[in-house]
Structure 1
Amino acid sequence: MEFRVVAETVDCEGGNCPTTYIRKEGTVVVQGYRTAIAGRLRVSVDVLQRHARAEGDDTWAGPATPDGPGWVLVDGRETELPGISLPRNEGLIEIELARA
C-alpha cells in the first residue's frame, strides 16, 4: 500500500468521510469538502487535531485558515489515492507538513 490512514471523521456514516493519510514518501493527503477554489478543502478541526495527536504532535502543523466554528480551509495540490473513490462534493489534496 502506498499510503496509510492516520485520522478519520468520528461517527462517519457510509465509510467515506474527511480523513487524513500519509504517503510512504511522507507527504500528507487530506480528504475534505470541496470549495469554489481548486486545491482548497474544508475540513473539521477535529480530524486535523486527531491527525496531529496520532503522529505525536500537539497541534496540526499544516496549512489551515479558520472557516467558522470547528472548521478550517486547507490548501494543497489536488491528488488521487489508489482505491479511494470520493463523493462529488469531496476532494483530496497533498501537502507538506511544517516540522520543527
Structure 2
Amino acid sequence: EMSEDEVRPLLVEGRVGLAAVNGPRSVVVSGDADAVTELVQGRKAKLLKVSHAFHSHHLDGMLDEFRRVVASVPAREPVIGLYGDVTNP
C-alpha cells in the first residue's frame, strides 16, 4: 500500500523497477527477487508468485524474438462488431 511517489525513491536502477500503477495507493514493482523482497520488507505488501519477472529488465533478452513473432501476425480491421446494452442519451 504505497503511492507511486512513495515507491519511486525506493527503486534500485537495474534491480527493481515500477511495473504498474493500479491505483492511488496500489503499485507493482518487479525485478531481482532479493531486491524486491528487501524493498517490501516491513511494508504492507504481497509477493506475487509468477513464472517470470514481467515488466522488468529480466525479459529484455526475449524482446527481439517477441518482436519477430509479433511482426509475423497480420494486423487488420476487426470483423466482429462490439455491442453493449448501454445507450448514450
Work out which structure has the larger RCO, using CA pairs closer than 8 Å and 6 or more positions apart in sequence.
1
Whichever of the two has the greater Rg, that structure is 2
- Structure richer in strand, relative to its length: 1
- Structure richer in helix, relative to its length: 2
Q: TM-score, normalised by structure 2?
A: 0.34
Q: TM-score, normalised by structure 1?
A: 0.31
